[in-house]
Structure 1
Amino acid sequence: MSASTGTNAGAAALGPRHPGIDLLRGLAIVLVVFNHIGLRIPLKKTVLADVLPTWLLSRLNYNGYEAVFVFFVISGFLIAGNALRRWGSLERIDTRAFYARRFARIVPCLLTLVAVLSLLHLLAVPDYTITRAGQSLPRAIIAALGLHLNWYEGQTGYLPGNWDVLWSLSIEEVFYFGFPLVCLLTRRLWLLVPLLVLLALSMPWTHAALRGNEIWQEKAYLPGMAAIAVGVLGALLASRWQAPHRTINLLGWLGALGLAAVMLDGAAIWHLLRDGYLLVLTVSTLCLLLASSPRPSRSHGRPMCGLGWLRSWGRLSYEIYLSHMFVVFAVVRLFKLSGADYRWGLPWYLLALPSCWLLGVAVERCLSTPCERWLRNRLTASRSTHPTTVELPVA
């Protein structure tokens, strides 16, 4: 999933953030957390069902998969956009610097998570022990670090929840392993863009073709990579197209309406378009990104009041994504031990959500930003950078 740097110091090192993108990323990570709590304490069984329709409560709980695709589009948009600002064009990507930045951003948290989960498995802690036939700790470690945990789950079944979240990271990082190489090999946008368009448009068909295996269909490489390709195409468009203000507003409204339609009534869109609903989701996300991304010709504008908390979730999205299942499992276990009725499940959400955010803050301040800064300095020390380059925080 998409990552962000988090602290003020880290953000300053990378350049200014944009509140619109952080807001969208914050919405996505909140939906992921709601999904993982809702699988265990459904909102439709709480007192909220007395005042809100159950279909709405169900949609609040079961948009986690769609939220990950939102992250994929944001990731492609930000990383390709940063590459364009840093090197001027995609065919001029410095592969060593690109891989160093991805390594510094992703690996510290990933290694720490795998180490902690391995220890909890060896201690036979409930909710963290790998017990499914055909699965083992060594193989799960290899799958997580070898970026094929999605394939491993597709072949053997779901891993415990904290391991399971790494499926999206496998898709994302395999894409970024090949991305600079493809850019250097094609060397021309008239070759690269058609490849990205074909990949993006393949999403409904590659998703539908895997219907025989529910887990693999959900977590296969190609549909997720197609969503990232949508984001990359958006970054290329944003770098070359100075849209008028009215067009920007139109894109924002179209994106908001499309995203709301998928999130609130995805079943209707599925009935109409089948697997094509994923294109509605990803293109709507791209419209919002194009409408909210910073441009030299216009100011960033003032952030919407009252949504600072959601933007902070967006800034911490990578850290919260990797760590939130620790909170979910703890809260759900306390819920069960307390003997509470599902009707009174809402207070447990109110406990879980700030706890996820606080854990994300701790991970960001104590681990991800210090390690990322140190590794970037070590890995890119011999490479000169462009002093006038301005970057958005990496995804």
Structure 2
Amino acid sequence: MPPAESTRTGIHPDASVRNAGIDLLRGLAIVLVVFNHLGLRIPLKKTALADVLPTWLLSRLNYNGYEAVFVFFVISGFLIAGNALRRWGSLERIDMRAFYARRFARIVPCLLALVVVLSVLHLAGVRDYTIIHANQSLPRAIVAALGLHLNWYEGQTGYLPGNWDVLWSLSIEEVFYIGFPLVCLLTRRRAVLLTMLVLLALSLPFTRAVLDGNEIWQEKAYLPGMAAIATGVIGALLAARWPAPSAGQVRALYAFGVIGLLASMLGGRWLWPLLHDGVMLLLTASAMSLLIACQARPPRPPRGFGWLRAWGRLSYEIYLSHMFVVFSVVRLYRVADGDPRWGFLWYLLALPLCWLLGMAVERWLSLPCERWLRARLLRAPQVAGNPLPATVVTD
């Protein structure tokens, strides 16, 4: 999952005002990722739920994790570009130092901690965390994870253990954001930048089709993921130029977004023969539509869905840590010789544990480290030997 900036708009990370709609969308996406990784090991269609729900629906609940990551890509592009527009007025005036400092502070603490923990578990020979492929090694996996090319490494050598594997999306997102401010500053003209972004966004179906010979690389190549991020950036630019859509326009955006998202995620088996990889373009366009609508008029969260917003707020931390819970719960399920018909009950154990672990990671690692790093990396330069006050953290 891409570690997007906060859904807070122009305020400090520990403030409480958030965009409820974007949090709900992020929460839905991370739940689908967790369902995917649980479903690969405890399929819902083999449980007693199949007696009351259609198996195709249970399968879609289990196997939309990849699509959910692309929704995260769109959200990431939308939030980071939107925050840059509010902070600097236009993308052509991005402060590269501040931009990179914020990305570094948000991403590196959790990434380093995860790589250290996974390295220790590999060296200890812990099952589910040991790199066993003959053409893979721990040093090379560490270089791939920290060098932002773990997706390419897996495309060349095969899948890494699950907790390493989740870092493929981080590689795509951060390579995009290394080049993003450079492109913004070099083009200088919004029309040129927007044209480039549109071409990249529309390339999604074609780049995936070209990569059809390698299943792993087709899923995890840079360009398809970057196309989804570009869609989010386009959405932020459109929202900035269209700050006050009418109520009818907002309803239309919500309708297209919801219908498109449901169609691409639930109706894939009917749409893929018709649209092929165009289904992914429908998915990203629908997510962009929902984000624009949410920014214009955040929805009132349905009663009882507060937990989903909480998941959205912790989506980065849950994404990086949830496989520890998945492996543990699946191990317990197998040790207990679990009846597949009651496998869905193990989801009820895994979900709160994923949230609790994500909350602990945020409280004790990501949030304090991010504040500490920003306070130092974003400190204003000294003038005539006198230190100026640190810049205010705004996201």
Identify the TM-score tier after normalising by the shorter chain: over 0.9
- Give, as a single letter, the amino acid of the residue that structure 1 aligns with 2:331: R
Q: Secondary structure at the match of 1:212?
A: coil
Cα deviation 1:94-119 (Å, max 9, x = unaligned): 00000000000000000000000000
> Take 1:169 and 1:35, find their aligned partners in 2: how far apart are those partners?
18
Identity of aligned residues (%): 72
Partner of 1:204: 205
- Conserved in 2, the CA contact under 8 Å of 1:6 and 1:369? no
Partner of 1:357: 355
Partner of 2:261: 259
> Take 2:14 and 2:117, find their aligned partners in 1: how far apart are those partners?
29
- Conserved in 2, the CA contact under 8 Å of 1:128 and 1:162? yes
> CA offset at residue 243 of structure 1?
1.6
The 5-angstrom pairing of residues 310-325 of structure 1 reads 310-325=308-323
Partner of 1:126: 127
Alpha carbons of structure 1 residues 7 and 120: separation in structure 2 relative to 1, 3 Å:
farther
Partner of 2:49: 48
Cα deviation 1:59-115 (Å, max 9, x = unaligned): 000000000000000000000000000000001000000000000000000000000
Alignment match of 1:367 (pick from 345, 365, 368): 365
The 5-angstrom pairing of residues 206-245 of structure 1 reads 206-241=207-242, 242-245=244-247
Moved more, 322-331 or 262-271: 262-271
* Number of matched pairs: 385
Query: Which 5+ residue runs of structure 2 have no aligned equivalent?
Result: 382-388
- Conserved in 2, the CA contact under 8 Å of 1:2 and 1:317? no
Alpha carbons of structure 1 residues 316 and 184: separation in structure 2 relative to 1, 3 Å:
same
Q: Secondary structure at the match of 1:108?
A: helix
> CA offset at residue 346 of structure 1?
1.1
- Conserved in 1, the CA contact under 8 Å of 2:152 and 2:221? yes
- Conserved in 2, the CA contact under 8 Å of 1:26 and 1:313? yes
Cα deviation 1:167-218 (Å, max 9, x = unaligned): 0000000000000000000011011011001100111000100000000000
Partner of 1:379: 377
> Take 1:373 and 1:7, find their aligned partners in 2: how far apart are those partners?
16
Q: Secondary structure at the match of 2:17?
A: coil
Partner of 1:189: 190
Moved more, 240-249 or 109-118: 240-249
- Give, as a single letter, the amino acid of the residue that structure 2 aligns with 1:257: I
> CA offset at residue 386 of structure 1?
8.2
Cα deviation 1:297-333 (Å, max 9, x = unaligned): x6x4643321110000000000000000000000000
Moved more, 260-269 or 315-324: 260-269
> CA offset at residue 385 of structure 1?
8.4
> CA offset at residue 240 of structure 1?
0.7
- Conserved in 1, the CA contact under 8 Å of 2:261 and 2:283? yes
> CA offset at residue 341 of structure 1?
1.4
TM-score by length of 2: 0.94
Alignment match of 1:328 (pick from 298, 318, 326): 326
Alignment match of 1:284 (pick from 272, 283, 286): 286
- Give, as a single letter, the amino acid of the residue that structure 1 aligns with 2:80: I
Partner of 1:75: 76
> Take 1:365 and 1:22, find their aligned partners in 2: how far apart are those partners?
18
Alpha carbons of structure 1 residues 12 and 134: separation in structure 2 relative to 1, 3 Å:
closer
- Give, as a single letter, the amino acid of the residue that structure 1 aligns with 2:58: L
> CA offset at residue 5 of structure 1?
7.3
Partner of 2:3: 3
- Give, as a single letter, the amino acid of the residue that structure 1 aligns with 2:264: V
Partner of 1:274: 276
Partner of 1:156: 157
Query: Which 5+ residue runs of structure 1 have no aligned equivalent?
Result: none
> CA offset at residue 344 of structure 1?
1.2
- Conserved in 1, the CA contact under 8 Å of 2:4 and 2:75? no
> Take 2:358 and 2:179, find their aligned partners in 1: how far apart are those partners?
29
Cα deviation 1:123-154 (Å, max 9, x = unaligned): 00000000012000000000000000000000
- Conserved in 2, the CA contact under 8 Å of 1:45 and 1:342? yes
- Conserved in 1, the CA contact under 8 Å of 2:21 and 2:299? no
> Take 1:233 and 1:173, find their aligned partners in 2: how far apart are those partners?
18
Partner of 2:385: none
> Take 2:182 and 2:7, find their aligned partners in 1: how far apart are those partners?
31
> Take 2:219 and 2:356, find their aligned partners in 1: how far apart are those partners?
30
**Which has the higher relative contact order, 1 or 2, with Cα contacts under 8 A spaced 6 or more apart?**
1
Partner of 1:341: 339
> Take 2:344 and 2:206, find their aligned partners in 1: how far apart are those partners?
39
Partner of 1:138: 139
Moved more, 242-251 or 124-133: 242-251
- Conserved in 1, the CA contact under 8 Å of 2:379 and 2:390? no
> Take 1:139 and 1:153, find their aligned partners in 2: how far apart are those partners?
11
> CA offset at residue 12 of structure 1?
4.8
> Take 2:339 and 2:351, find their aligned partners in 1: how far apart are those partners?
19
> Take 2:81 and 2:15, find their aligned partners in 1: how far apart are those partners?
15
> Take 1:89 and 1:7, find their aligned partners in 2: how far apart are those partners?
19
Q: Secondary structure at the match of 2:98?
A: helix
> CA offset at residue 16 of structure 1?
3.0
- Conserved in 2, the CA contact under 8 Å of 1:331 and 1:348? yes
**How large is the Cα RMSD of the aligned pairs?**
1.9
> CA offset at residue 4 of structure 1?
6.0
- Give, as a single letter, the amino acid of the residue that structure 2 aligns with 1:362: A
Alpha carbons of structure 1 residues 329 and 231: separation in structure 2 relative to 1, 3 Å:
same
> Take 2:115 and 2:186, find their aligned partners in 1: how far apart are those partners?
34
Deviation beyond 4 Å, 4+ runs, structure 1: 4-8, 10-15, 383-387
Cα deviation 1:30-64 (Å, max 9, x = unaligned): 00000000000000010101111110000000000
